[in-house]
Each structure stands twice: as structure tokens, then as C-alpha cells.
Structure 1
Amino acid sequence: MTVKLTLQVISLTGVGVGGWFSGILTERWKQRQTTCECQCINENTEDDLLCKIKRMPGLPIFGTVSAASPENKLSVLENDFVSRESSPVPRKPSRVSQIMKYGFPGIDTVRSFDDYVLSYDRRNRVPHWVFEHLTKETLVYNEFVDRSKCEFAEDTSVHPYFRSVNSDYRGTGFDRGHMAAAGNHRVCQKHVDQTFFLSNIAPQVGVGFNRHSWNRLEKYVRKMTKTYKNVYVCTGPLFLPRKDTDGKMYVRYQVIGANSVAVPTHFFKVVVAETDDYKLDMEAYVMPNQAIDDNTPLTVFQVPPESIERSAGLLFFDQLSKDKIRKINGRKSTMV
């Protein structure tokens, strides 16, 4: 009897010790996983902000990442969540999350449509930039796509305070000018319909510009797909300074409608075209928002890409090494 009891005690003790060791190993594994996640989340450099958030390559960015940027906002909040939920000892919230406890007053609105990406300027009610990817295949004529069925519409994803509406343009003499051109998105009716959201629109002079010279530039970019495998296009408005009679420089522009939609002084288009063997050529254009003689060659409007970057406050194709570019505006790049 005594031997039997002794064996039972030893057996129970073994189970208890085994369970204790199992618990210790499990806890260590969980801590290691939490540490890895936290380390990954805390790596909020410009090249590796979050392992769970994929960065869209090639899109223009506004300078570099700062402490109060949208990326760091995500990093801080997600890090705090991991600390509270996973760590056995709650960590003190970061200083940034304390300061911005009740939200950021604004971040640049980026919206991804089915066939283009857009950053919206809520103050001026026009896009900051619009980004497109064109190929010969995506531009094939589709008899089932009918532009006449499209109607300009408010973008309800934009807060009502910052939207432009159709009545803003009515009677102003300005066209509702596409930044992502309707003719670039003819794969299906839905794609072309989405180019008619007013978040993709800016006021443009009609006769002599939107319907003529600007349209020539859009057609030229589409034609590039016959030579290049991939064509990446970034388009947007500019508000450039001019010297006044007093000799000083001023940025002056008209606003239209009840929502004070800004009328850009100029528009830009930056293109990177990729050959079948992955050679890259870049072209950059700035055109004034005014009637232009339709016989004016498009090359007249070519400018150094960095001049647009400085004026727009954007960095184009920031993940593309400039030494990979073969030609800029038709001339051999000095950076190769």
C-alpha cells in the first residue's frame, strides 16, 4: 500500500513539473513573438515603416517621414496596442500618442481607385497628384465602354467640408479637367466612370487648353505605350509665383464656386516609361492653364523633373534610383 501511494505521488509530481516547464516554454515563446512584432513595428524608417503595411512603390511622397507623419501615427498606435495586449507588463504610451490622443487634424488623403491612385488637396478642392500605369493592353479599344454614359459626381469619400460639387463649376467658364484622363481607363465601364469623380478634377481653361493642347499631351502619353512596355504617369496642378508690377513675387490664383475651388496656374505631368529590356526614360512637362496655340510643340513645355518637385513639394518616383534612368526629356541622363 505504501509503495502504491508513493508511486502515485511521484506520478502526480512529474505531471506538475512537466506542466510547469511547458508553461515556462510557452510564455517565453509568446514573449519572443511579441518582441519580434514590436521590433518590426518600431522600425519606422522611410524604407521600412511597418511589416504589416505595404508601401506603394513609385508614388510621390511629401518629403521624408517625420514624427507626426501618417506612417508614424500608425506605428505609434499599433505599438501601443501591442504593448497593452501582448506584453505581460503594460508599457507607457509613447509621447506622440499622448499628444495626438484625440486624432490628427489632417493628413493627406490618398484614395486608391480600381485603376488609378489619387492624393486629394482638401484645402484647394483639387488633387495633389494622380498616378496611373498604362500599357498597350489596358488601352485597347473596348466597344462596351461608353464615355457618354459617364457623369461628373461628388466623391462621397471626401468630407463634405472639403468636397467640390458640380455647381462650383457651373457658369465659371472653366472645364472640369481630368487629371487621370478618361481615355486612359477603358478596360471596363467602371474604370472610366471613376475618372469622373470630382476629386480627380481641377478647373481648366477649355478652348485652347483642356480640349486642345492638354489633350494633345494626354494622347502623346497614351501613344508611348506603343514603344514602351510600361508607362507610369503622375499628373497634378501647380500654383506658381509671378513677378508683379512692384517687382515682388506673388502666388495668385482664382477660386470658383461656393466651395472656393482653386484654379491652378499650371499643370504638370511626369512620365517614366519602361522598355521590354527594363531601360527607363523620363519626361516632365509643365503647361500654363491658358489657351495655347495648338501648333506649339509639346517639347516647348518640357522641364527638369526636379523643378516640378521643388514647386509641388513632391518627390516623384522616390524608390527609383535616378542612375537607372537612361534619358530625361529625350536627352541622355548625366546621372547614368
Structure 2
Amino acid sequence: MLTTRFTTAALVALGLVAGACSSETDKVQPASLPEHLTLGNPSGAVADEKQPTNYLLSKPQYAVSYHRDRGIPNWVSWHLSPEWLGSAARQDDFGPDATLPAGWYQVSSSSYTGSGFDRGHNCPSADRTKTVADNSATFLMTNMVPQAPNNNQRTWATLENYCRTLVDQGNELYVVMGSYGKGGTGSNGYKETLDNGRVTVPKRIWKVVVVLPPGNDDAARVGSSTRVIAVDTPNENGLDTDWATYRASVDAIEQATGYDLLSQVPAAVQAPLEARVDTGPTR
């Protein structure tokens, strides 16, 4: 589904303030985008302090649309291929992101302490193991979201493992993960915010995975038969451990968030791709 701007309902659901980023989605994306935005910039995020609820952090390892007032990303986008995988150990060095504009509150590792929610990665640690620096970058708090432990450690962990299995099978992936809404249920019960209101607990957590054989000009190679996996889960501790239970269409996620996903994919193939719910293997 091609969208050109956020809907009012979607902005409310995301907790975005007036004027935050709706106009940014009207901008035409440049022909050559950074690696992690090859298939598009879902919310038209820009590195402009005047857009604090849709602020672009373009890192070597992934791209982020950060929401200063929610203290979490709107979405994180990354490319996953064999070139990103290696033997670097998990660093576990959770910490604030010093690249945020001066004066912005920096969420810290302790912001989640005792909350009953995990510091849930968007771009997973195990997707960035080529170098220690790459792995360490995934532990920045701008890549984290308060995630119910069973959601993070079971349902999402198996999906993340499956994505790497697809790479081991000879594919490359483009992945976008995000969240929306407010209020989730962790191991200590329901919460809407952490850290004295500075960090929003999302209601839903979603992911879109585009699976391609190796090649060049990746956005142009996406066709109507390309496998696209879209998942939208409740941020709850009692959810099903099988991620396939929560498969959805890209259209449904766009409707819920107001984003324009896969905007750089040829227009002729977007409609069938985004309307379809994946039925492929899960392991």
C-alpha cells in the first residue's frame, strides 16, 4: 500500500506530536540511499533537531527513526547478509547514545531496571558479529525497546534465528522492526512508561523481512514473487511462542503505523507484495 503522509489516527497511536514528521513523508527519496535504507525510509526521518519525534540516526550498522519523547525508536532498518556475520562475541555493553543532539535525554541501561521488561534489541546483537564495534553498536539504547521477556526471549528470538537461517541458506535480507501504541505487560505486570515517564512501553512490536537471493540493485530486484515476512505481536508476556501465529500483511502494519514501507520497491509490485500474508516455512 503506497501512502504519502501519516494519518491522524496513526499519529495519535504512535504518540507523535503535531508537526513531527507527517510532512517528511511527502519528500521523494533520493535515487541512491544508504545501505540500510535501500528499500526506503518508512517515515521520512531526517537528522534535524526540529524533528525530535522522527529523528534519523544513520549508523554504519543500521538506521533509526528515533522518538525523543517516547525514548525509543519508531523503527530500525538494517541489511543482513553474510558480510555482517562473523565471530565477534556478544558485548552486552548497554549504554546511552552520545550521538543524540545536545540537551536530549539519554536513556541509559538502568532506565529499564526492575521494570519487568527486557532491553529488547531492534537490530539483534547476533545480526552484527563481523567486528566487536559492530556488535557493540547494537547495545546502544536508541536500538532498544521495553519488551516483555517472553516476547523478547522466545517469540522474537526464534524469528531472529530464522532470519539468520535464511542468510545461511544463501539469501540476503532487508529488515525493518518497530513498535507502536502504548502499554505492555511484562513480568511485573502492565506498564505504560518507565524511567519516570521518559521511556514509553509500546503496545505492539512488528517486523518486516524481505528475502532476496544475492545480487545488485536490490530494490529493483524485488518482484511480485519475492518472499516478504511481516509479523505484528502484542508486547505481552503471555503471547504464543510461535512467531508464525502473528504473521500479518505489510498493508496492515502500514495502516497501524502510518508508515510507507518498501517505498523504493517498484510501484507495480508493491500492491501484491504488501497485501499478502506469508505462508512460507518457519524454520
Q: Is the 8 A contact 1:213 1:292 kept in 2?
A: no
Query: What's 1:312 paired with?
Result: 257
Runs of 4+ aligned residues of structure 1 deviating over 6 Å after TM superposition are none
Confirm whether residue 201 of structure 1 aligns to residue 144 of structure 2. yes
**Structure 1 pair 156–316 and aligned structure 2 pair: CA distance change class (3 A):** same
Write the distance in 1 (CA, Å) between the matches of 2:118 and 2:262: 29
Report the residue type matching 2:201 in the other structure.
V
Q: Which runs of 5+ in 2 are unaligned?
A: 1-25, 185-189, 216-220
Structure whose CA Rg is larger: 1
Matches within 5 A, 1:185-264: 185-206=128-149, 208-239=150-181, 254-264=192-202
CA RMSD of aligned residues (A): 3.2
Q: Is the 8 A contact 2:206 2:253 kept in 1?
A: yes
Matches within 5 A, 1:1-336: 46-47=27-28, 56-62=37-43, 104=50, 106=52, 108-139=54-85, 141-142=86-87, 145-147=88-90, 149-159=91-101, 160-206=103-149, 208-239=150-181, 254-276=192-214, 278=221, 280-292=226-238, 296-321=241-266, 323-324=268-269, 328-330=276-278
Between Structure 1 and Structure 2, the one with more helix by share is: 1
Q: Is the 8 A contact 2:43 2:260 kept in 1?
A: yes
Q: Is the 8 A contact 1:227 1:275 kept in 2?
A: no
Write the distance in 2 (CA, Å) between the matches of 1:120 and 1:233: 17
TM-score, length-scaled by structure 1:
0.62
Q: Is the 8 A contact 1:283 1:329 kept in 2?
A: yes
Q: Is the 8 A contact 1:110 1:118 kept in 2?
A: yes
Q: Which runs of 5+ in 1 are unaligned?
A: 1-44, 64-68, 74-102, 243-251
Structure ranking higher on relative contact order (CA contacts 8 Å, 6+ apart): 2
Write the distance in 1 (CA, Å) between the matches of 2:268 and 2:141: 37
Report the residue type matching 2:246 in the other structure.
F
Query: What's 1:39 paired with?
Result: none
Write the distance in 2 (CA, Å) between the matches of 1:307 and 1:189: 37
**Structure 1 pair 48–163 and aligned structure 2 pair: CA distance change class (3 A):** closer
Q: Is the 8 A contact 2:183 2:193 kept in 1?
A: no
**Structure 1 pair 119–106 and aligned structure 2 pair: CA distance change class (3 A):** closer
CA-CA distance at 1:263 after TM superposition? 0.5
3-state secondary structure, aligned to 2:98: coil
Write the distance in 2 (CA, Å) between the matches of 1:273 and 1:105: 32
**Structure 1 pair 54–302 and aligned structure 2 pair: CA distance change class (3 A):** closer
**Structure 1 pair 70–60 and aligned structure 2 pair: CA distance change class (3 A):** closer
Write the distance in 1 (CA, Å) between the matches of 2:183 and 2:117: 21
3-state secondary structure, aligned to 1:177: strand
3-state secondary structure, aligned to 1:193: helix
Aligned residues: 236
3-state secondary structure, aligned to 1:161: coil
TM-score, length-scaled by structure 2:
0.72
3-state secondary structure, aligned to 1:212: helix
Q: Is the 8 A contact 2:41 2:263 kept in 1?
A: yes
Residue identity over aligned pairs, in percent, reads 23
Deviations 1:99-123 (A, max 9, x none): xxxx846462111112111111111
